[in-house]
Each structure stands twice: as structure tokens, then as C-alpha cells.
Structure 1
Amino acid sequence: MKDKLIAWLVTRILKLLSLLSYSSTQKLGRVIGRALWLGDSSLTRVTKVNVELAFPDLEQEQQQALIKASLTETAKLFAEFGAMWEWPTEKALGLVKSVQGKELFDMASEQNKGLIVLAPHHGNWELVGLYLSTLRPMAALYRPPKIKPLEDYMSKVRGRHGSELVPTTKRGVIRLFSILREQGMVGVLPDQVPQGSGGIFAPFMGVEANSVKLVSRLIEKTDCLVLSLVAMRREDGTGFDLIFRKADPDIYSDDLYTSVAAMNRTVETCVRDRPEQYQWEYKRFKDARKGSRHTYG
């Protein structure tokens, strides 16, 4: 009953947010971000730890500026969820102002191979998934929400343009292998902390972090290609620039550690371009070797 109530509240909030104009979501995000910065929330504390671990060479004043900016950008992301999940596809995609590197996607699609698109927690990854689903059929790997009643809603909105939602289960992983062998496209969030035996320690932003092995295993077994795609929020608040990039070439290595480290470097390339738009509020280093399992207190 409690989960149903929470799910109802979440969906109502999203529907209310969807009534806002995009410029209003940006203003709301700035207000929420400032409140987080002035307070002592868990999001603020996690962001502080992550920035200090990932950017140890920055002066304290620079770290503080990045923490403040990250909180604001993540608050904007939350405010944008109403638009991403409730707006008609055409209206949401109207926020895309440019697409850089689209030729990389076109060339990969002509190779008669499967394609993995890495979409890290950078900018607005929900827009990335929506955009990709309009280019060609795709499957998106996702971790089912802890609040079970939300799963049906999430599956409906994320799959409204035909995307196949594949859960992070044994059956789901088998499905991904099948899709890639059939020269299909799969979208993956590559920077989630893996569960159980699904990870290997590899450097990410200079920290030995628990990192997913799945992408490397998929490449090894299906000989697929890999690109990354992010949706960067424009500073003038008018929309997004989408950027395709090639994956680090070592991602195709037969050596698991080398491949996973290259996947992490692929994400790093995205992050270092606009570090404030990375979701530093996520406990990416909770299983890191440096800082121990008590990294976040």
C-alpha cells in the first residue's frame, strides 16, 4: 500500500512538472539547486565526496564551484523528467538543437553489426534514449525500480516510441546477446555500480571503482560496435546539444580489464567536456578501493 501511494505521488508530480515550459524547468532547477547548496542534504555530501575524489588537483574554491554547479544541473534534470516522460515525442525532441557526430552513428549502422550506445549519467540521458529510439529499433537495459508499482509507468513512458525495455536479470542479459547477434542496437548506462559478480575494479576518474563487465562481455561474444551519446544542456537554457563519440579503441580488447578500463575512459571523455553536468550526486565510488566501503560515511 505504501509503495502504491509513493508511486501515485511520483506520477502526479511528474504530470505537474510536464505542465511547465522548458524555461520554467530550468528556473525551478536553479532554485532547487541553490537550496541543496545552502543546505546539508545527503545529495550535497555525496557530491562533495565525488568531486574531491575525481578532481583532487582542483583548488578548494574550484571544487566548491563545481559542487554548486553540479547540484544545480542535477536539479534541472529532475525538473525535466516531467517533459521527458510526459510530453509528446515530437515536443520533447524539439529541445534538441544540434546533433554532433551523427555520421559516426550512420557509419556504424551500415556495418551489419550490432551496436551498443553508451549513455552515461551525463546531461539528460532520458532524452538520449528517446532520440535513439526514433533512429532505429533499440533495446534499453534498465535496473527495475525499488518501488515496484513504478515499473509499469516507467516501462510505458520509456517504451512509448517502440523501445524494448530489458531488465538487468539473467534472462534480460541473454536477450541483449540475442539482439546484438541479430545486428540490433542496445542502449546501456555504463557507469552504474554493478551488483554481485557483475563488476571488476578499473580506474574511473583516477579512482579504482567497481565497474560493469557486461559491455565488454557483449563485445567479446557478438563483435558489436560501440559509441557514446550524451545530451548536453545549453547554457542559455534553450535546449540540448547531442554529441556522438567513438568509444576508446581498447574497449574491443580481448583482455577484460583493458576493455572495462577503456569503457570508463570513454565515459571520462564525456565527463571532462562538461563536468558540472555529470551526476556527481550518484554514489559511483561506493565500492571503490580508494576510500574504502565507507567512502560516503
Structure 2
Amino acid sequence: MLVTLFRFLSLLPLSVLHFTGSVLGWLVYLLSGSYRRRLQENLGRAGFSQHLRVAVQEAGKNVLELPFIWCARPERVLKTAEMENWELVQQALDQKKGVIFLTPHLGCFEIVAQKIAARTRLTVLYRPPRKEALKPLIEGARARDNLLLAPTNLSGVRIMAKALKKGEAIGLLPDQVPQQGEGVWARFFGKPAYTMTLSAKLHSMTGSPIILTYAERLPGGRGYVVRFVAFDEELGEDAVTQAEAINRAMEKLIARSPAQYFWSYNRYKTPQGVAGPDAVQPEQS
């Protein structure tokens, strides 16, 4: 049923999906108290409360564009997005050290990997969805030509390290809450958030340059612009310092288009089996 619905929605124009998504965003915001509180709290903590109304609409667009991104013909999807500053990526690829793309939950993050893979081979870390019905949709969309999936375990880490050593590119969601033992507590918009350490580890292992990227959603359903930004933070030596440097870079990126960040995401949750931020050493608080 869900697959059929997604395939039907994928036939609609992106402008229709985005308009309907805006309405859906307001419905969810008004009907769900927990969703509303989290959205308000996270926007307020980051200093972006003035973007609340637009953020509500953008969150709805994010949901209803997924059938299009996952189920529409690849050539139709790719035509909706332009790329800005690809020269930065090409210069990094020319170094033959591989490239680490960091893509937060900003704008249409699902289209970023497809656009990159249209230019160069890309391996992305993939965690299967909790809803089994979504699995064939997501895997079908992500596992396309030049786009490879690596599992979120030690085997996946080895696959990504091997890709970098061959001079290829990999992609990670740096603001996705990692599983037990795969992160540290680091400040994100002023509050401790359990943050992955993998990107910094891979950079230390391979010397691969880090590039930030996101797809800004254009108004009126006109498509997207995939932007590439140089990573200019000093990573430091220890895991906490590195995680906080990456979080600072994410904060700067989000500030470019704050209404399009996935503010309803439970970024500050404590994963099962992980000691909370108040229980760790002072340097991780």
C-alpha cells in the first residue's frame, strides 16, 4: 500500500508536492503537541525562532518530496537540481586522496547523493529504516549507478576507508545520532548532542579532504541547488574536540538556510546503553 502510494505521488509535479507538503506541515504542527514543542525548542535554542512559520512548511515539503526523490525516474529527479561550486569538489578529487562529504539534515538531503553520484562514484553509510515497508523504496533510490551503500557497522567502516584509499568519495550524515560507542557528547547549538566520530577518524586515517554539502529547496517547487562548501574548522586531536569542530561547521551551514533544517529530529536524545552527558567526564560536557 505504501509503495503504491509513493509511486503515485512520484508522478505529480514537484510544485504540487511542495504545496501539499506545506499544508501537511501545518496540520502536523497544529495536531501534534510533542512535535510542536520540539520544533519550537530546537529553533529557539539555535536562535532561529523567527523562522518558525517557514520551518513548519519546509518540514512538510521534506516529507512529500520523498516519493518524488525515491520513486520518480532518475533522470527526472536529477533535472530538478543544479550544482554550485563543483569546482571545489573536482579539485579535491584531483588530489587522489578521496573526499569525505558531510551532509546534515538540511534542505533536500536525499537528492545530494544522487547528484554527486551522477559525476563520481560515491559510497554512503546506510542504516535500514525501522519501517520495513520503506526499505525497498529507500534502497532502490540510494543504490543506483555509481552510488553504493555501506552498512552502519565495522564492515561498513572498512568499505568506506577502502573507497577513500582508492581516491573515491564517501558520504555521511554528521548530525545523525550514532549508536552506542560510536560517538561522543559534543555541543550542538549550545546543548550536548551525541555526535558521530567516524568522519574525523576516516579523515585522520586517510588524509581525505572534507567538504560540506546540502541541497537548498527553491520556492514554488522550482527544484534545488546543491551547494558545496569547504570545511574550514581546525579538527584538533581528541574525539570531543573533533566532534565539536564538525558541529560548529554544521551550525554555520545550517545558518545559511535555517528554515530548511530538520528541526523536529530528536538530535539530543541519549542512545540506548549510552551514559547521558551529565555522567561523562568534564571535558565531554
Alignment TM-score, normalising by the size of structure 2: 0.90
> Which amino acid letter does the alignment assign opposite residue 279 of structure 1?
F
Do the aligned residues in 2 keep the contact of 1:46 with 1:281 (CA within 8 Å)? yes
Question: What is the Cα deviation at residue 280 of structure 1?
Answer: 0.4
Q: 3-state DSSP class of the match of 1:250?
A: coil
CA distance in 1: counterparts of 2:140 and 2:28, whole angstroms? 31
Task: Say which of 254, 259, 268 aligns to 1:276.
Answer: 259
CA distance in 2: counterparts of 1:22 and 1:146, whole angstroms? 26
Question: What is the Cα deviation at residue 39 of structure 1?
Answer: 2.2
Where in structure 2 are the equivalents of 1:93-104 lying within 5 Å? 93-96=78-81, 98-104=82-88
Structure 2 residue 32 is matched with structure 1 residue 33: no
Q: 3-state DSSP class of the match of 2:221?
A: coil
Residue in 2 aligned with 1:77? 62
CA distance in 2: counterparts of 1:281 and 1:255, whole angstroms? 30
Q: What is the CA deviation profile of residues 74-119 of structure 1, one whole-angstrom value per residue up to 9, with x for unaligned ones?
A: 11011111110111122111111x4222111011011110111111
Residue in 2 aligned with 1:256? 239
72-81 or 160-169, which deviates more: 160-169
Residue in 1 aligned with 2:128? 144
Deviating 4+ runs (over 4 angstroms): none
Question: What is the Cα deviation at residue 127 of structure 1?
Answer: 0.8
Where in structure 2 are the equivalents of 1:55-70 lying within 5 Å? 55=47, 63=49, 65-70=50-55
Question: What is the Cα deviation at residue 230 of structure 1?
Answer: 0.6
Inter-CA distance 148–270: structure 2 relative to 1 (3 Å threshold): same
Do the aligned residues in 2 keep the contact of 1:71 with 1:281 (CA within 8 Å)? no
Q: What is the CA deviation profile of residues 141-169 of structure 1, one whole-angstrom value per residue up to 9, with x for unaligned ones?
A: 01111234543442222112331111111
Question: What is the Cα deviation at residue 236 of structure 1?
Answer: 3.8
Cα RMSD (Å): 1.8
CA distance in 1: counterparts of 2:264 and 2:68, whole angstroms? 21
Do the aligned residues in 1 keep the contact of 2:70 with 2:140 (CA within 8 Å)? no
Alignment TM-score, normalising by the size of structure 1: 0.86
Q: 3-state DSSP class of the match of 1:210?
A: strand
Question: What is the Cα deviation at residue 40 of structure 1?
Answer: 2.7
Q: Which runs of 5+ in 2 are unaligned?
A: 271-275, 279-285
Residue in 2 aligned with 1:44? 36
Do the aligned residues in 2 keep the contact of 1:130 with 1:161 (CA within 8 Å)? no
Residue in 2 aligned with 1:5? none
Q: Which runs of 5+ in 1 are unaligned?
A: 1-8, 291-297
Do the aligned residues in 2 keep the contact of 1:204 with 1:268 (CA within 8 Å)? yes
Residue in 1 aligned with 2:202? 218
Do the aligned residues in 2 keep the contact of 1:229 with 1:245 (CA within 8 Å)? yes
Where in structure 2 are the equivalents of 1:1-297 lying within 5 Å? 9-55=1-47, 63=49, 65-96=50-81, 98-148=82-132, 150-251=134-235, 253-287=236-270, 289=277
Do the aligned residues in 2 keep the contact of 1:17 with 1:81 (CA within 8 Å)? no
201-210 or 45-54, which deviates more: 45-54
Q: 3-state DSSP class of the match of 2:65?
A: helix
> Which amino acid letter does the alignment assign opposite residue 211 of structure 2?
L
Do the aligned residues in 1 keep the contact of 2:15 with 2:220 (CA within 8 Å)? no
CA distance in 2: counterparts of 1:117 and 1:15, whole angstroms? 29
Question: What is the Cα deviation at residue 260 of structure 1?
Answer: 1.4
Do the aligned residues in 2 keep the contact of 1:95 with 1:239 (CA within 8 Å)? yes
CA distance in 1: counterparts of 2:141 and 2:167, whole angstroms? 25
CA distance in 1: counterparts of 2:45 and 2:79, whole angstroms? 37
Q: 3-state DSSP class of the match of 2:234?
A: helix
CA distance in 2: counterparts of 1:90 and 1:247, whole angstroms? 30
Do the aligned residues in 1 keep the contact of 2:25 with 2:58 (CA within 8 Å)? yes
